[in-house]
Amino acid sequence: MFILTDLLVLGCINGIMVVGLNLQYGYSGLLNFAFYTYVAVGAYISGVLTLGPSTTPGVTYILGAHLPWPVALLLGGVAAAILGAVIFSFTVRRLRSDYLAIVTVAAAFIFWNIINSDVNLFNGANGIFNVPYITGNADLSTEQYSLIILALAAVVLAACVWLSRRIFRSPFGRLLRAIREDEDVAAAFGRTIWQSQLWMYIVGCFMAGLAGGIFVFYITAWSPSAFLPLESFFLLAALIIGGSGNYWGAMLGAFIVIEGLNELSRYTPTFGRPELAGAFRALVIGVVLILVLRFRPEGIFPERWLDWYGRKTRAAAAARWHPANWTLHREEPSKVGKP
Amino acid sequence: MTVFLHAVGFGLATSAILALAAVAVSLQVSVTNFINFAYGDFMTFGAYIAWQLDVKGVNIVLAIVIAGAATGLLGVVANLIVFRPFMRRKVRPVTLLIAGVGLSFIVQNLIVIIWGAEPKRLVQTLGTSVQVGPFLFTTGDLIMICTAIVFLVLLHVTFKYTKFGKSLRATSNNIELAQACGIDSERIISITWFIAGIFTAVAGVGLVLEETTLSPTTGFNELFIIFGAVILGGLGRPYGAMLGALIVGVLTEVAGQYMNAAYKTSIAFAFVIVLLLFRPQGLFAAKGKTS
């Protein structure tokens, strides 16, 4: 039973991450190989803000405070969003896609190296630990606590998907798709490309920060070994396999690729050398990624499966083009098709 | 001053390795016009083959030759199976980039499956120090520098004076026009992958000799420094890449000498970022390749 809730919690957390990445890569076409860095920022900030000032000798970190967990969670998201905005304005605005990819990976490596080597920031390689349970009392069993976190993660995931859906159907979402397909055309229609992309970048990073915060509340510890730069590649692979641009596809990718391959295999019997299982699943992800790119580049759930306009807008559009409304003079709007 | 000069000396040895790898990347970019993220893992692959043969008692020179051929074949196969279908469909460069990431997963984890994840320690057999002018080299460094020079000169001669070199330059310059002139550009691209593979394997062996350990992520960790050298020289310009490698190699070693050693690679990465932000076309941009 615990296995199931554990898998579901991790699935929801990874779902939030991939849905956030979808806003950046799927909606706006911004390649981000440093996505997990923002997750880490959210996790560290949320962690230290609930952990309180360090009392253990030899454990040093900044910003220790006893904030209520919802505030800490939100601040974690905000910190990730601010970092995202800063990095965006330095890099995304001026680089083309392949250079952007290199710069994001390099930035992720530097960030990781600094966190890992500097013990004063977040306790270096040992990381932060003993983050208190968000329920306050520590006498909960692991299973009960995982159920509480599952509820939290599911609610946040639902909110993220809802927001993605709203953005997708809004005029702003259509503008983003236009920019992704052809920047020059969108610019020719008087849109400011970087402004629209910046918003998506910030919202995506915010979701990453939230996911990191929930993650650290769940596992109650965070260290550099938890956010190796490689993780971002897995998230991107999950998004592309699931269907980039489609929030259902993003969730599917998170559950299939990251859950099905990464987390589930912790519970399957091991075979051979200990590192073999991990190597096999990364190998499988690589093969599947290339096969999907080759034979189904739109992913398992393509973007075109989504309802672009929603029922109401579509009904209004249908009414507008209904033959009963065909007039030469358009002064009087017709009532056909409306209640 | 002595410390500085010694650092420059180390830098030269690093640059030699970097130059081989950077030229390989640049050569491939010049004909295919996309950046291959699996390159670091090709280096690791070559190094592992050479290490395996060396352990089995094969002569080291022969081992490197076989490793070069194997890595070259890996490049050709990767091109045929993974990249060529995409290039025929004329997909966006981002797709090729991500396909490269997938290939990197595959190669790196095949290495883990075959040889295991734990790092292999090498016994440094080429360790005696030699004073050359103001610099202090190990014999291994000297051999590496000489090898790099020989390879680069050979490449230059091939480029300049053979029919293949001419076709390669034509393909790199304008692939459609080259095809119109009867050049079999797909054959040229395959051969380029093979040559790049040989260079990559030699660079991989050099890297391992320098670091004295070999692990499945050895090459991947070096990848972005190589990209830095390539971009500094101008993407798709093999000669520029040599100079880029020289600058990046010496710079990281000298900077590493005066700073916390933990931040040595970070300096190289920061350099790559600054370079891309302020001079993405490199020192000598190739016309028509990238911007």
- How many CB atoms within 10 Å of residue A72? 25
Range of the domain at B249: 2-278
Chain A residues contacting B, CB < 8 Å? 29, 31, 90-91, 94-99, 101-103, 105-107, 109-110, 113-114, 116-117, 233, 236-237, 240, 273, 275-276, 278-280, 282-283, 285-287, 289-290, 293-294, 297
Q: Cα(B160)–Cα(B95) distance, rounded to whole angstroms? A: 33
According to DSSP, the residues that pair with B129 across neighbouring strands are B138
Query: CATH number of the domain that B183 lies in?
Result: 1.10.3470
| Residue A202 Cα distances to A76, A77, A78, A205, angstroms | 13, 10, 9, 5
Taking CA–CA distances from A273, the nearest residue in chain B reads: B116
Q: pLDDT band at residue A281, thresholds of 50, 70 and 90?
A: confident
φ/ψ of residue B32, rounded to 5: -105, -20
Q: Cα(A218)–Cα(A131) distance, rounded to whole angstroms? A: 9
Q: Which two structure tokens, joined as six digits, stand for B33? A: 């016009």
3-state secondary structure (DSSP) of residue B137: strand
Residue B105 to residue A282, Cβ atoms within 8 A? yes
The residues near A186 (Cβ < 8 Å, ≥ 6 apart) are A175, A178, A179, A193
Q: Cα(B220)–Cα(A190) distance, rounded to whole angstroms? A: 42
More confident residue, A269 or B214: B214
What is the dihedral sign for C-alpha B154, B156, B160, B165?
A: positive
What are the extents of the domains in chain A? 2-228
Q: pLDDT band at residue B291, thresholds of 50, 70 and 90?
A: very low
According to DSSP, the residues that pair with A128 across neighbouring strands are A222
Supply the Cα-derived Rg of chain B in whole angstroms: 18
Residue A97 to residue B97, Cβ atoms within 8 A? yes
Q: Is residue A14 scored above 70 in pLDDT?
A: yes
Report the pLDDT averaged over residues A10-34: 92
The residues near B41 (Cβ < 8 Å, ≥ 6 apart) are B103, B104, B107, B108, B111, B219, B220
Q: B170-207 b/e with 16+ CB inside 10 Å = b?
A: bbbeebeebeeeebebbebbbbbbbbbbbbbbbbbbbb
Q: Which two structure tokens, joined as six digits, stand for B252? A: 């990281």
Chain B residues contacting A, CB < 8 Å? 34-35, 37, 82, 85-86, 91-95, 97-99, 101-106, 108-110, 112-113, 116-117, 224, 227, 231, 260, 262-263, 265-266, 269-270, 272-273, 276-277, 280, 290-291
Specify the range with the lowest mean pLDDT, choosing from A136-140, A167-171, B163-167, B287-291. B287-291
The CB-based long-range contact list for A154-162 (8 Å cut-off, 24+ gap) reads A154/A8, A154/A12, A156/A12, A156/A16, A156/A210, A156/A211, A156/A214, A157/A12, A157/A15, A157/A16, A157/A19, A157/A251, A160/A15, A160/A16, A160/A19, A160/A20, A160/A207, A160/A210, A161/A19, A161/A247, A161/A251
Q: Which of A109, A180, A183, A235 is best to mutate for the B interface (most B CBs within 10 A)?
A: A109
What pLDDT sits at residue A151? 93
The residues near A298 (Cβ < 8 Å, ≥ 6 apart) are A243, A244, A245, A304
What pLDDT sits at residue A105? 87
Report the pLDDT averaged over residues A273-298: 86
Is residue B207 within 8 A of residue B214, CB to CB? The reply is: no
More confident residue, B44 or A317: B44
Q: Cα(A143)–Cα(A1) distance, rounded to whole angstroms? A: 8
Within-domain flag for B50? yes
φ/ψ of residue B138, rounded to 5: -90, 160
Expressed in angstroms, the distance from the first to the final Cα of chain B is 39
Taking CA–CA distances from B115, the nearest residue in chain A reads: A276
Report the pLDDT averaged over residues A321-327: 71
| Residue B61 Cα distances to B51, B53, B115, B141, angstroms | 11, 10, 22, 16
The DSSP element (H or E) to which A316 belongs, if any, is helix A310-320
Q: Cα(B100)–Cα(A290) distance, rounded to whole angstroms? A: 9
pLDDT in tens, A215-262: 999 998 898 888 888 889 999 999 999 998 899 999 999 988 887 776
Q: pLDDT band at residue B202, thresholds of 50, 70 and 90?
A: very high
Q: Cα(B148)–Cα(B21) distance, rounded to whole angstroms? A: 10
Residues of chain A with C-beta less than 8 angstroms from the C-beta of B110 = 279, 283
Residues of chain A with C-beta less than 8 angstroms from the C-beta of B94 = 29, 31, 97-98, 101
Is residue A52 within 8 A of residue A66, CB to CB? The reply is: yes
What pLDDT sits at residue B284? 64
- How many CB atoms within 10 Å of residue B99? 25
Is residue B122 within 8 A of residue B214, CB to CB? The reply is: yes
The residues near B248 (Cβ < 8 Å, ≥ 6 apart) are B15, B18, B225, B228, B229, B232, B268, B271
What pLDDT sits at residue A128? 86
Q: A1-17 b/e with 16+ CB inside 10 Å = b?
A: eeeebbbbbbbbbbbbb
Is residue B69 within 8 A of residue B198, CB to CB? The reply is: yes
pLDDT in tens, B83-108: 999 988 888 888 898 999 999 999 99
Q: Cα(A218)–Cα(A212) distance, rounded to whole angstroms? A: 10
Single-letter amino acid code for the residue at A63: L
ipTM exceeding 0.85? yes
The CB-based long-range contact list for B63-66 (8 Å cut-off, 24+ gap) reads B64/B201, B64/B202, B64/B205
φ/ψ of residue A333, rounded to 5: -70, 135
Within-domain flag for B93? yes
What pLDDT sits at residue B41? 94
Q: Cα(A179)–Cα(A199) distance, rounded to whole angstroms? A: 13
User: Of A147, A173, A129, nearest to A12 (Cα)?
Assistant: A147
Q: Is residue A166 scored above 60 in pLDDT?
A: yes
- Count of the separate structural domains present in chain B: 1
Is residue B124 within 8 A of residue B140, CB to CB? The reply is: yes
- Cα torsion A48, A51, A56, A60 to 10°: value is 10
Closest approach of B68 to chain A, Cα-based (Å): 24
What pLDDT sits at residue A249? 92
Is residue B219 within 8 A of residue B207, CB to CB? The reply is: yes
Q: Cα(A215)–Cα(A211) distance, rounded to whole angstroms? A: 6
User: Any idea which residue has 């000799």 for tokens?
Assistant: B209
Single-letter amino acid code for the residue at B277: L
- How many CB atoms within 10 Å of residue B236? 26
Within-domain flag for B135? yes
User: Any idea which residue has 């295991």 for tokens?
Assistant: B116
Global pTM value: 0.87
Q: Which two structure tokens, joined as six digits, stand for B254? A: 């000298």
According to DSSP, the residues that pair with B213 across neighbouring strands are B121
Within-domain flag for B289? no
Give A277: exposed, middle or buried? Use CB within 10 Å, 0-12, 13-18, 19+: middle
